[in-house]
Chain A
């Protein structure tokens, strides 16, 4: 880090004020004990010369330049182990999220923003761009093949848009798009347990890259589309396989 002492009066501290105004209990930033329990148990410690404790000290000291420009915020998975272990419950993951949000869209990792944009193209919310028809076709095609080729599974079900089903099941896009056979074991388990379930052509995709991108407007849109899909079919439980 710095060879000289950091002059706090020269730091802007705009991000610190954002944390104070936006996070519940101001993220508990002011009661951090600087103990380092967060850094000791963080897999991202050491990446980019950063760790959670350094990050929090930088925020507290108002070091906007360093805080806002480190790639480390994309190397933290926001898993929340730091706040779980923290004796003062300093909300480091939410601070990381706020920094992600503050990055200009064009500077954010393209893989994440492109997956978010793709999810906005259809009401399926698929980050791989699979449409309602794509999904229904793959499910029905795989189901038909299992019924014909696997003795004893002639009556296997994979309902789509079944109104009033108890469970609304979603699925990571990679299954229907790249390895559709991986959906079958799940169908068999649901069949054997007698579960009343359905897929929906809308809102079936489990992933939400708009959340990872911290694009709040898009994140909210995706969440609302998914919730509406469950409500529209009158399902009681949303089963997320992610």
Chain B
């Protein structure tokens, strides 16, 4: 979405949204970012290709980027990214949670339903219920 289609301005828009919903002090950016960021390895058909070992190896670059932020949650606006980033955390026992952007927006709005919290950790699972 950023590198291939709309460029860095849309990455700025997404940061505005995320900072607004989680609070500026709770947002940690990764390095490198925006158009210069690395692919997580969920796209291009990778998730269905059967090359699972290669996909995990490929994803180590993204895993290390996430771990370097020290953040407890990684927000992924794309479904393929969500599947891969979530799987990386499980596979490498990295311990971070992976949430859709819509989940965190609705949590901030106070309207996230009980059945819509699959990817939240224990710390946020009951918030606003």
Contacts and interface: CB of A to CB of B under 8 A. Distances in A.
Interface of A: 41, 43-44, 46-48, 71, 74-81, 84-85, 109-112, 114-115, 146, 149-150, 152-153, 172, 174-175, 179, 181-182, 184-186, 188-189, 192, 206, 209, 212-213, 241-242
B91 interface: no
A181 B38 contact: no
Contact of A81 (B39, B57, B59): B39
B119 to A, nearest CB: 9
B51 to A, nearest CB: 6
B89 interface: no
Nearest to B4: A80
Given A47-B57, A78-B44, A242 B80 contact: yes
Contact of A43 (B35, B62, B115): B62
A41 B61 CA distance: 10
A74 B49 contact: yes
Nearest to A174: B79
A182 B100 contact: yes
Nearest to B102: A185
Contacts of B55: 75
Given A182-B116, A184-B116, A77 B111 contact: no
Interface string B26-53: 0000000001111101111110111100
Nearest to A211: B45
Contacts of B112: 185
Interface of B: 3-4, 35-39, 41-46, 48-51, 54-55, 57-62, 78-80, 83, 100, 102-103, 105-106, 109, 111-113, 115-116, 118
B45 A181 contact: no
Contact of B51 (A75, A149, A150, A153): A75
A185 B100 contact: yes
Contact of A47 (B3, B44, B54): B54
B116 to A, nearest CB: 5
Given A185-B106, A185-B116, A81 B3 contact: yes
B45 A43 contact: no
A172 B38 CA distance: 22
A43 B79 contact: no
Nearest to B35: A84
Contacts of A81: 3, 36-39
B51 A185 contact: no
B79 A242 contact: yes
Contacts of A115: 45, 48
